[in-house]
Amino acid sequence: VRTLILRDAMELIHQNYHLGKSGEELFRATNAIILDFYQNRVTLKEGVREFLEDCKSKGTRMVIASASARNMINAALRHTGIAHYFEEVLTCAELGIGKDRPDIYLLAEEHLGLPREDIWVFEDSHVALETAAKAGFPTQGIYDRCNPWQEEIRAVSSRYLGPGESFTTLIGE
């Protein structure tokens, strides 16, 4: 389930556990809860705004490559006020694949037009980090208290931002 896009994951849960009337019903209900979170409660990790501002001031080009749906990403960007830092939003949902395949990162590479070794992938998912690393991208693992796979994340990351560490520690690197 971890590597599936949300719609596919809800269908799998419905089929295996017979929850809800359909996978689509589960998807809509889950989507509503997630959207409310992104519209009203999501917060930035410590130091993110300062880090993004530092990157922007240095001319670093940034895109979002997310497994979340575009409306979720846009809601989070509006709520946190950071949309202006990013050139583009790319989504696995629109590609129809998860981050267990490198397609989303390759699309970001194509958009940026930079050498792969100069494109850092920031992730809090060990599956996504492993995929990006295998494709030749440098990776920045990010601690997330809701993710139990921290050792796996650390193991596949070029660099790791651990619990209690601020994104400001990355400024100047």
pLDDT in tens, 64-91: 999 988 999 999 999 999 999 999 999 9
Residue ranges of the chain with per-residue pLDDT less than 70: 1-4
pTM: 0.88
R_g over Cα of the chain? 16
25-37, pLDDT tens digit by residue? 999 999 999 999 9
pLDDT confidence of residue 2? 57
pLDDT at 1: 57
- What is the distance of C-alpha 1 from the center of its chain? 16
Residue 90's φ and ψ, nearest 5 degrees, are -115, 140
pLDDT for 3 equals 57
Domains of the chain: 6-40 (no CATH), 48-170 (3.40.50.1000)
Q: CB-based contacts of 10: which residues, under 8 Å, 6+ apart?
A: 23, 24, 26, 27, 30
